């Protein structure tokens, strides 16, 4: 019978009103005895508070920033009376399949009750046994240390294949990670705020062993050296069950306790290079006072070299780091700027009138840093020109009804994409990139073009691939799909990678020209403003023509001014006469 018990703050010494800096559990989480449930920070130490009992978290009574003292109520815990009685699980085992909560609650009981081990081979069939599957972060592209912003499942929940498990947010997109297997969540090994890399363990699932698991002697039972987590999960789904079933099928094999599989993670672990990446991002040891001091100065302790015992960061280390940053720029991170910018003064705007302060969306924060880095590290030049699109727009209007009949909204942008792709094929210098050390030029034999999309959370740049190989209708359809995914936060990392040129179109909003920022490591970006009717001299008279303003920003280390002018002239020529796209 389950009972609800209060969990109080134990005696932590001569401390009172200690601040809660981290809550390590959530309602619905199953916790064990001595598992950490929260972290407190005093002036002298950071303290993790363990749970005195096991059970399921019913309700949290504290929040981040609260101050607690001995005897304060931390949370309520739903404990299982049967878990404290060794004989109860064995008596209830025959009814376990009828109880949906039996699988997750069996695991810890079995792990703590060795006498049950001999009963498993005799009382269960292949269809009744369970295996523990480790679910790891799959390949999500060229990203690392991505923070977890939402955990969508909890221990004890049933999940299906492709059901979302958690949400990650990079500097370019929000991604939901689907489950590759079906089963019951046994343990969630991540929490909100954690940073993950490919191959990191997310959770373990308790899943029924399939009939195929009774087959033994297959090559799949051998551990495989795989390149990525997708292959590893496939190995886990095939080799794992067979390897688990093999000892049970052997006549003389010793019986294994049901909890043993649950205690051991499946052989899908973070790869060495992932562990190295995680280790690089770990902060050095520091006292709470030093951490608080670093936070007040806006210093990331990851980049501070500690001079104390065992590399512990001291207050002097933080001060020296700030001095170095102010005098010659921060030397620690590889992406640091070669010079330091003067800090912006802090202004109290409230003294001038009523104000409202809100948090800047994370995507805007991170993309803003990238744009800032591009602006100060790339020597920009912007070339302005105009394209006569009178004939192009007339042709587009003629084809608009036919396109809509086939489900395509025909705008000007697909035509611009096609013209830009042709111009890039003729002048590949504008789709090249510099090597990371600036010593080599990388020429690309593909034409992938990014298109800036405005979203509620900030600017995203999905990439249209192989533009030179696609038709106008295909490009229009793909643009619409990518834009919709961007606005709904459904873009995958791969949707925003591999671009060699970008387009930013503000024509629907207005303006006559602007200076777009080069999206490094690309070397050029095209800005489109609003087209307007202008009088153009044809040699004999002025006639009204629809003119499209072009603003080409480029990296002057790679693209010369003459090449920039030639490119805009070529692009204007292609847009002025679509027949030139066929030449």
Q: Is residue 94 part of a domain?
A: no
My answer on whether 536 and 458 are in the same domain is yes
pTM assigned to the model: 0.48
pLDDT at 555: 96
Residue 148, domain member (yes or no): yes
CA distance 462 to 452: 7
E strand or H helix at 233? helix 229-249
Residue 88 lies in a domain: no
The count of domains in the chain is 4
State whether 503 and 541 are in the same domain. yes
Tell me whether residue 372 is one of the annotated catalytic residues: no
Is position 551 within any domain? yes
CATH code, domain with 383: 3.30.559.10
Q: Does 309 share its domain with 445?
A: no
Same domain flag for 312 and 272: no
229-259 b/e (C-beta count within 10 Å ≥ 16 → b): beebbebbbbbbbbbbbbebeeeeeeeebbb
Q: Which pair of structure tokens corresponds to residue 536?
A: 């153009």
Do residues 331 and 478 both lie within one domain?
no
Let me know: does 572 contact 388? Beta carbons within 8 Å: yes
pLDDT score, position 201: 92
For residue 342, the domain's CATH number is 4.10.320.10
Biggest CA–CA distance in the chain, Å, is 104
The residue from 297, 331, 357 where one domain ends is 357
- Which residues lie closer than 8 Å to 372 by C-beta, 6 or more apart? none
Domain contains 98? no
Same domain as 368, residue 338: no
Residue 341, pLDDT score: 61
Is 512 part of a structural domain of the chain? yes
Q: Domain holding 63: CATH number?
A: 2.40.50.100
Choosing from 245, 277, 309, the residue where a domain stops is: 277
- What confidence score (pLDDT) does residue 289 get? 66
Please state, in angstroms and rounded to a whole number, the distance separating the CA atoms of residues 294 and 313: 10
Boundary-marking domain end, from 277, 301, 318: 277
Is there a domain that residue 89 lies in?
A: no
Regarding whether 313 and 254 lie in a shared domain, the answer is no
Please give the Cα distance from 51 to 30 (Å, whole number). 11
Q: Who contacts 391 (Cβ-Cβ below 8 Å, separation ≥6)?
A: 576, 577, 578
Residues forming a β-bridge with 450:
463, 502
Domain residues for the domain of 527 are 364-582
Number of H helices, E strands in the chain: 13, 27
Residues 220 and 328 in one domain: no
**Residue 479 in domain:** yes
Task: Going residue by residue through the chain, which has 583 residues, state the pLDDT in tens, using 9 for 90 and above.
Answer: 568 899 998 887 767 788 888 788 889 888 988 888 888 877 666 677 889 989 999 999 999 888 998 889 999 998 865 444 443 444 344 444 434 443 444 444 433 444 443 434 444 444 456 788 899 988 777 678 888 888 888 898 888 888 889 888 776 666 778 888 888 899 999 998 899 988 889 999 888 765 443 333 333 333 333 333 333 333 333 333 333 333 343 333 344 444 333 333 333 333 333 333 334 444 456 666 677 788 777 787 777 888 876 677 888 888 888 877 766 544 444 334 444 566 678 889 999 999 999 988 877 887 888 898 899 889 999 999 999 999 999 999 999 999 999 889 999 999 999 999 999 999 999 999 999 888 899 999 999 999 999 888 788 899 999 999 999 999 999 999 999 998 888 888 889 999 999 999 998 888 999 999 999 999 999 999 999 999 999 999 999 999 999 999 999 999 999 999 999 999 999 999 988 887 7
How far is the C-alpha of 236 from the C-alpha of 377, rounded, in Å?
46
Separation CA 528–CA 385 (nearest Å) = 10
Tell whether 390 and 496 lie within a shared domain: yes
Q: Which among 519, 506, 369 is positioned nearest to 430, based on CA atoms?
A: 519
Q: Are residues 343 and 370 in the same domain?
A: no
- The reply to whether 138 and 255 lie within a common domain is yes
Do 256 and 118 lie in one domain? The reply is yes
**Which of 181, 285, 370, 556 does the annotation list as catalytic?**
556
Residue 387 has φ and ψ, to the nearest 5°, of -120, 135
């Amino acid at each position: 019978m389950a009972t609800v018990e209060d969990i109080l703050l134990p005696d932590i010494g001569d401390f009172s009103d200690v601040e809660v800096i981290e809550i390590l559990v959530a309602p619905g989480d199953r916790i064990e005895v001595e598992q950490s449930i929260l972290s407190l920070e005093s002036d002298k130490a950071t303290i993790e508070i363990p749970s005195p009992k096991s059970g399921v978290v019913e309700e949290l009574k504290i929040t981040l920033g609260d101050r607690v003292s001995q005897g304060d109520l931390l949370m309520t815990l739903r404990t299982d009376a049967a878990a404290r009685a060794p004989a109860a699980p064995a008596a209830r085992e025959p009814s376990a399949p009828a109880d949906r909560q039996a699988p997750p609650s069996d695991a810890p009981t079995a792990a703590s009750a060795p006498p049950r081990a001999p009963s498993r081979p005799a009382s269960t069939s292949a269809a009744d046994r369970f295996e523990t599957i480790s679910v790891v972060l799959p390949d999500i592209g060229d990203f690392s240390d991505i923070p977890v912003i939402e955990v969508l499942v909890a221990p004890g929940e049933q999940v299906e294949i492709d059901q979302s498990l958690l949400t990650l947010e990079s500097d370019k997109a929000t991604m939901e990670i689907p489950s590759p297997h079906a089963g019951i969540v046994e343990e969630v090994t991540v929490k909100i705020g954690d940073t993950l890399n490919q191959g990191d363990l997310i959770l373990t699932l308790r899943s029924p062993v399939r009939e195929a698991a009774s087959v033994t002697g297959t090559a799949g039972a051998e551990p495989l050296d795989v390149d990525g987590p997708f292959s590893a999960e496939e190995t886990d789904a095939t080799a794992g069950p067979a390897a688990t079933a093999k000892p049970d099928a052997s006549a003389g094999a010793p019986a294994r306790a049901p909890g043993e599989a649950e205690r051991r993670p499946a052989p899908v672990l973070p790869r060495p290079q992932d562990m190295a990446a995680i280790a690089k991002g770990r902060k050095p040891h520091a006292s709470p006072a030093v951490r608080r001091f670093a936070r007040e100065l806006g210093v990331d302790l990851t980049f501070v070299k500690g001079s104390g015992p065992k590399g512990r960061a001291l207050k002097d280390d933080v001060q020296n780091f700030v001095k170095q940053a102010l005098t010659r720029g921060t030397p620690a991170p590889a992406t640091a700027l070669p010079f330091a910018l003067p800090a912006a003064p802090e202004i109290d705007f409230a003294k001038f009138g009523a104000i409202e302060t809100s948090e800047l969306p994370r995507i805007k924060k991170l993309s803003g840093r990238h744009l800032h880095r591009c602006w100060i590290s790339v020597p920009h030049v912007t070339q302005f020109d105009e394209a006569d699109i009178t004939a192009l727009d007339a042709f587009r209007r003629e084809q608009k009804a036919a396109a809509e009949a086939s489900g395509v909204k025909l705008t000007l942008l697909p035509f611009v994409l096609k013209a830009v792709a042709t111009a890039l094929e003729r002048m590949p210098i504008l789709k090249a990139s510099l090597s990371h050390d600036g010593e080599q030029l990388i020429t690309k034999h593909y034409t992938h073009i990014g298109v800036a999309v405005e979203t509620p959370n900030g600017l995203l740049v999905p990439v249209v691939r192989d533009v030179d190989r696609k038709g106008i209708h295909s490009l229009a359809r793909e643009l619409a799909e990518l834009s919709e995914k961007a606005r709904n936060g459904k873009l995958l990392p791969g949707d925003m990678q591999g671009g060699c040129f970008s387009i930013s179109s503000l024509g629907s909003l207005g303006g006559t020209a602007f200076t777009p920022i080069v999206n490094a490591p690309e070397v050029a970006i095209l800005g489109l403003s609003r087209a307007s009717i202008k009088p153009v001299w044809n040699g004999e008279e002025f006639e009204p023509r629809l003119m499209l303003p072009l603003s080409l920003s480029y990296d002057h280390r790679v693209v010369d001014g003459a090449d920039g002018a030639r490119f805009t002239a070529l692009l204007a020529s292609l847009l002025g006469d679509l027949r030139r796209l066929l030449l």
